[in-house]
Chains A and B, each alone.
Chain A
Amino acid sequence: MSVPLEHDYIGLSEASSMERSSDKISSSSSSSTLSTEEEKNNVLNLKETELRLGLPGSESPERKAGFGVSLYGTDSLGPLKNFGSGAKRGFSDAINGSSDKWVFSANGGYEVDLGKGTVLFSPRGGNGGLEKNNTQQCNLPRVPPSKHVEKQTSPANEHASAPAAKAQVVGWPPIRSFRKNAMATNVSKNSDTVEGNPGSGCLYVKVSMDGAPYLRKVDLKNYCNYAELSSALEKMFSCFTLGQCTSGLPGQEGLTESRLMDLLHGSEYVQTYEDKDGDWMLVGDVPWE
């Protein structure tokens, strides 16, 4: 009974089977290290490097098991048996013998933009072959397969077609779970788009001053009365008025005619972006969320 493996231990993915594609495989002469003819072609063939994980039989017919290709079950593993003749209890045995599925992608290593996610290893059986022939030309990660893959806990999912899910080798990269989880929260928070979201409790309006190179956004909820708003606006736009700004940062000379300084950052340049109305807005007025 083959059970697809879920390598996800952040808990972000839902489905077990994964649709992924590896865009690039660096062409290499590593194919010369492979012991079968088939694999030679596979490595260079981009189509062949497209990886999918699904049930046995669900794969497309032209699919071959190649170097660094995902494995579904015993039927597609034939070619791999030729690997690593030197390995005692080689990778291929592990694959055939176990009921687990091994998922990995052939990855050139530097083209990290894989699109969906990646599990990174290649058959250990390549051990003998790679080393003997030409390690220098090996562009594929010659990596023994990690046995640290987590079990799929809900076999019912194996039939689901996948939204992209992330899969990694267990325990890699070596970062403590606490930090991993904290990072994941941080970054996912940053990736929400929240502008104008009523739930966030802010009310942003655009403010433009004639002659200013960019516009500002102001959260009206920050201010209690017009006086506060007015002084805030004054502060915001004072940098565009020559001779009237006060420099709060040490070591600054204040405005000169030729330089507009960003008071907060003390640099000559500020970050702006163009919004959907075609106005240039200062980056930072609207919180990232």
Chain B
Amino acid sequence: MAMGKGYARAYYGTEHATAVQRKSSAHLLISGVSNAYTLEVLRVFGNPILQVLKGLSFESAMVPDPKRCNSCKDSASSRDSPEWTRPSPFPDEVLDRVLSLMESHKDRSSVSLVCKDWYNAERWSRSHVFIGNCYSVSPEIVARRFPNIRSVTLKGKPRFSDFNLVPQNWGADICSWLAVFAAAYPFLEELRLKRMAVSDESLEFIATSFPCFKSLSLLSCDGFSTDGLKSMASHCKNLTELDLQENVMDDLGGGWLSCFPENFVTLEVLNFASLNSDVSFDALEALVTRCKSLRVLKVNKTITLEQLQRLLVRAPQLVELGTGSFQQDLMPRVYAELESAFNNCKNLHTLSGLWEANFLYLPVLYVASAGLTFLNLSYACLRSNELANLVAHCPSLRRLWFAVIIVSKTEVLDTVEDKGLEAVGSSCPLLEELRVFPADPFDQDIVHGVTESGFVAVSRGCRRLHYVLYFCRQMSNAAVATIVQNCPDFTHFRLCIMNPGQPDYLTNEPMDEAFGAVVKTCTKLQRLAVSGLLTDLTFEYIGKYAKNLETLSVAFAGSSDLGMQCVLGGCTKLRKLEIRDCPFGNAALLSGLEKYESMRSLWMSACNVTMNGCRLLAKEMPRLNVEVMKDDESDDSQADKILKIASLETARKQM
């Protein structure tokens, strides 16, 4: 950890104040200013440090005591001693207050680099820690540095584990973390885990070791079952959030829901949409009734429309709703009641679920659609015209996820599926995020999916679009160029042409120019996923233009080592690089030596890298974790999968 880079100096005006944010040596002096004024400023404005500087009058600017600077560097953890009464440029309370309002991890990282005092102030005041890769640091180090953590976000396996590319039992087990947390953070309230291995024992441990535990979010995790949920429901008296999304878990039955005690009333978020078993509806209804603060409810598909209506009547305050199965033959009376229930949900801004949605019942949603900002139809498998009808009622939509199916082989290509997107383009001008999934990506019997024209249509109507994930079966360079011209503000551009290595369908050329257009036009681009037939030219473009790029996913692309070298050399902010099935070899791998330590991780699989290359890398960069996963039958010299993590530890301990 680089310490003592110097103080940050305050200047008049914001443009100078931003210098404070940078890690490079800048100097900060905050003159004596009353606490009350500072706090008032902090409360009103956003970024505390900037605004403090804005509000200062520099009548009594103080010069920093040089002796103090030096001693500050020398003394270790001066904050810890209770009799610390060292005079400082401004009261400690000010700094503490400023820091307590600071939530951004990047800002806090910057603050901690200013000087030792600030490092200590920051670490004592931090209540939430975000660990992007669980193997980059050990739980002991975390506990030592941050004594007052209430909330932890942990991410484990490489993203490609979602697609079965990471072997079973790879690791990322939460249990070692929990053991340390139980000792260091007895008042832990929140755990947000992504791609971690979580066992039922771990869930029970959480439920019984942390009496203040409130919030559990498991996304794309694996290893547990509904028995673990039983523990959570039974023991966590103060639980406010139970959020389960897309985990690989054993659903042994819905009895866990009945384990919430009758006097349990604190739940605010309940998401069990991804579980398949029936739950006791009576228990659910009772739970929803007594938890008056419930604002997010996402049920699974066993909940019928009629049952949904009863739940909505109990919880009109819901902000986010995940419906169950939207397929049921309703009596007209129930239909009317359902519509009325939706009408009463005045705060609804997120809607999801809609499993097996029967288009006849979608109109019940129209009454609540005007306020919707996020519509997740990715499991509803609507037809294009149904989608069009629905989005016509959602003028405030900011985020839309959906999957489109077609019904018969005889439907003409390029018209039916894209019609829905055309409707989106015309109905939802505020749209910022679009995710289009293939409804049945593996059924080759029917031609399906959206084409480029749908995407172009959306880009014409939705100029604020900045996040897109788009699965399609054909794309052209011209279309992509048009799209980014219409929407130059893309921060996340993830295009998946589903046929690996497919060229521009109009010209038969590689898709190089498409992604070239993306990186040239979208200067704010942070995340990019490429597909289609791509040569090294794509990567030359990326390296040359994508200066803000942080995450890059590449599959079945590139021609030679040059491609990867361009990216590693040019993308200064690159943090995550994942590559599969590309002809990049050792030369490419080793060209990024200086870069890897500043990256969170690098993944390469089915490329041309050999074991020797990996060994060389590990030797050159001893502080990197280099891990090679080999398929059983492959040649000994071939390194099938490589994962590199910049880590503070010497070896990834397999738990």
Task: Provide the bound-state CA to CA distance between A10 and B441, in Å.
Answer: 11
**Residue B162 CB within 8 A of the other chain:** yes
Per the 8 Å Cβ criterion, residues 350-381 of B in contact with A are 355-356, 358-360, 363, 366, 378-379, 381
**Residue B332 CB within 8 A of the other chain:** yes
* Nearest chain B CB to A49 CB, angstrom units: 15
Q: Are B439 and A183 in contact (CB under 8 A)?
A: yes
Q: Which residues of B contact A121 (CB under 8 A)?
A: 500-501, 556, 581
Per the 8 Å Cβ criterion, residues 434-451 of B in contact with A are 437-445, 447
Q: Are A144 and B583 in contact (CB under 8 A)?
A: yes
**Residue B125 CB within 8 A of the other chain:** no
**Which of the residues B329, B496, B580, B634 comes within 8 Å of A222, measured between beta carbons?**
B329
**Residue B499 CB within 8 A of the other chain:** yes
Task: Provide the bound-state CA to CA distance between A267 and B363, in Å.
Answer: 13
Q: Which residues of A contact B389 (CB under 8 A)?
A: 265-267
The tally of residues in A whose CB lies under 8 Å from a CB in B reads 76
Q: Are B637 and A89 in contact (CB under 8 A)?
A: yes
Main secondary structure of the interface of B (DSSP, over half): loop
**Residue A160 CB within 8 A of the other chain:** no
**Residue B88 CB within 8 A of the other chain:** no
Q: Are A131 and B405 in contact (CB under 8 A)?
A: no
Q: Are A110 and B163 in contact (CB under 8 A)?
A: no
Task: Provide the bound-state CA to CA distance between A113 and B363, in Å.
Answer: 35
**Residue A99 CB within 8 A of the other chain:** yes
Task: Provide the bound-state CA to CA distance between A131 and B508, in Å.
Answer: 14
Q: Which residues of A contact B447 (CB under 8 A)?
A: 112-113
Q: Are A173 and B606 in contact (CB under 8 A)?
A: no
Task: Provide the bound-state CA to CA distance between A98 and B445, in Å.
Answer: 31
**Residue B638 CB within 8 A of the other chain:** yes
Q: Are B442 and A168 in contact (CB under 8 A)?
A: yes
Interface string of B602-627 (1 = CB under 8 A from A): 00011010100000000000000000
**Residue A159 CB within 8 A of the other chain:** no
Per the 8 Å Cβ criterion, residues 232-278 of A in contact with B are 232, 235, 249, 264-267
**Residue B220 CB within 8 A of the other chain:** yes
Closest to A174 in B: B163
**Which of the residues B165, B440, B553, B556 comes within 8 Å of A183, measured between beta carbons?**
B440
* Nearest chain A CB to B383 CB, angstrom units: 10
**Residue B40 CB within 8 A of the other chain:** no
Q: Which residues of A contact B556 (CB under 8 A)?
A: 121, 141, 143-144, 146
Q: Which residues of A contact B637 (CB under 8 A)?
A: 89
Per the 8 Å Cβ criterion, residues 481-510 of B in contact with A are 496, 498-503, 505, 508-510
Q: Which residues of A contact B445 (CB under 8 A)?
A: 115-116
Task: Provide the bound-state CA to CA distance between A110 and B507, in Å.
Answer: 12
Q: Are A178 and B381 in contact (CB under 8 A)?
A: no
Closest to B274 in A: A178
Q: Which residues of A contact B381 (CB under 8 A)?
A: 183, 186-187, 190
**Which of the residues B363, B503, B580 comes within 8 Å of A139, measured between beta carbons?**
B503
Q: Which residues of B contact A9 (CB under 8 A)?
A: 164
The tally of residues in B whose CB lies under 8 Å from a CB in A reads 75
Q: Which residues of A contact B555 (CB under 8 A)?
A: 172, 174
Interface string of B229-249 (1 = CB under 8 A from A): 000000000000000001110
**Residue A127 CB within 8 A of the other chain:** yes
Closest to A171 in B: B163
**Which of the residues A114, A182, A266, A284 comes within 8 Å of B379, measured between beta carbons?**
A182
Q: Which residues of A contact B533 (CB under 8 A)?
A: 135, 138, 141-142
Per the 8 Å Cβ criterion, residues 195-222 of A in contact with B are 202, 219, 222
**Which of the residues B246, B329, B496 comes within 8 Å of A287, measured between beta carbons?**
B329
Q: Are B443 and A166 in contact (CB under 8 A)?
A: yes
Task: Provide the bound-state CA to CA distance between A10 and B440, in Å.
Answer: 11
Per the 8 Å Cβ criterion, residues 249-280 of B in contact with A are 274
* Nearest chain B CB to A180 CB, angstrom units: 7
Per the 8 Å Cβ criterion, residues 535-578 of B in contact with A are 535, 553, 555-556, 559-560
Known: A112-B447, A135-B510, A144-B582. A187 touches B535 (CB 8 A): no
* Nearest chain A CB to B289 CB, angstrom units: 29
Q: Which residues of B contact A174 (CB under 8 A)?
A: 160, 162-163, 496, 553, 555
Q: Are B163 and A187 in contact (CB under 8 A)?
A: no
Task: Provide the bound-state CA to CA distance between A145 and B582, in Å.
Answer: 9
Q: Which residues of B contact A89 (CB under 8 A)?
A: 608, 610, 635, 637-638
Closest to B553 in A: A174
Closest to A175 in B: B441
* Nearest chain B CB to A251 CB, angstrom units: 11
Task: Provide the bound-state CA to CA distance between A168 and B164, in Å.
Answer: 13
* Nearest chain A CB to B155 CB, angstrom units: 15
Q: Are B378 and A179 in contact (CB under 8 A)?
A: yes
Task: Provide the bound-state CA to CA distance between A118 and B247, in Å.
Answer: 28
Q: Are B331 and A115 in contact (CB under 8 A)?
A: no
* Nearest chain B CB to A86 CB, angstrom units: 9
Best-surrounded residue of B356, B358, B553 (most CB of chain A within 10 A):
B356
Q: Are A176 and B499 in contact (CB under 8 A)?
A: no
**Residue B474 CB within 8 A of the other chain:** yes
**Residue A120 CB within 8 A of the other chain:** yes
* Nearest chain B CB to A65 CB, angstrom units: 20
* Nearest chain B CB to A198 CB, angstrom units: 16
**Residue A100 CB within 8 A of the other chain:** yes
* Nearest chain A CB to B329 CB, angstrom units: 6
Q: Which residues of A contact B583 (CB under 8 A)?
A: 87, 124, 127, 144
* Nearest chain A CB to B102 CB, angstrom units: 34
Best-surrounded residue of A94, A121, A174 (most CB of chain B within 10 A):
A174
| A residues lining the B interface (CB < 8 Å) | 9-10, 12, 28, 87-89, 93-94, 97-100, 107, 109-110, 112-118, 120-122, 124, 127, 131, 135-139, 141-148, 166, 168-180, 182-184, 186-187, 189-190, 202, 219, 222, 232, 235, 249, 264-267, 284, 287-288
Can you list 8 A-B contacts with CB-CB less than 8 angstroms, sorted by A residue number? A88-B585, A107-B499, A146-B581, A147-B606, A184-B440, A202-B329, A249-B363, A287-B327
12 new A-B contacts at CB < 8 Å, known A179-B246, A187-B381: A89-B608, A98-B634, A113-B444, A135-B509, A137-B508, A142-B501, A143-B556, A146-B580, A170-B163, A170-B165, A186-B356, A288-B358
CB-based closest 3 A-B pairs? A171-B163, A141-B501, A143-B501
